[in-house]
Amino acid sequence: MASSYSRKQFQKDLKRLAKLIEQFPAKRQSGGKRDKKTGELISMRTFEVVQVNGKDVTPHGNYQIREDSPIGPETAASKAAKQMCKKIKRNGGKHTDCEGRTLVIREKTRGSAHKHFGPYMVVVEQMSAKESKARTEALVKVTVDRLVKQGVPKAKAEKDTRKKVGKVSHKVSAKLVRK
């Protein structure tokens, strides 16, 4: 037995659909980074590492920079260098093991030409005692704030953070190798 769907019922359903569409928020965009002050979406460029010391590697990493960044891909290369040094240190190496390595990064932003940038040389600098103390305190403060936001009591968060966070003693960056 087939049920009939009348023209009158169809018109009624169209009106109900129009009301639902009207109630739905006009401009919804998910994902992406937003400006903290204005709340507007920030255009970002994304990069990945494709070569280390002149040897091709499986593309890895997701290093983002602002599209309007005056420095450009060098910022992404510095982020990649920092991650690489962290990994080397985690596996028992030293900061000096990172120095002198070269990276080539590729843009992977949707709609870009996927151009390669580099090579960039990893530079590791020893910080002065004053700068080291300031950076360590800033790191502790940020970590404590994040833990407190997650619901950990401030005293416990500070105690745990001071135990875990070592002294920041080196600054890692990447500089373009001029040919």
> Would you state the pLDDT for residue 27?
56
Q: What is the pTM of this model?
A: 0.68
* Portion of the chain with pLDDT greater than 70, in percent: 93
Dihedral of CA 112/114/120/126: which sign? positive
Give pLDDT tens digits for 39-83.
777 788 899 999 998 899 988 889 988 888 888 899 999 999 988
- Number of compact structural domains in the chain: 1
Better pLDDT: 28 or 160: 160
Region for residue 110 given its phi and psi (left: phi exceeds 0; alpha: psi -120 to 50; beta: otherwise): beta
- The answer to whether position 146 is within a domain reads no
The parent domain of residue 100 ranges over 36-126+169-176
Is position 8 within any domain? no
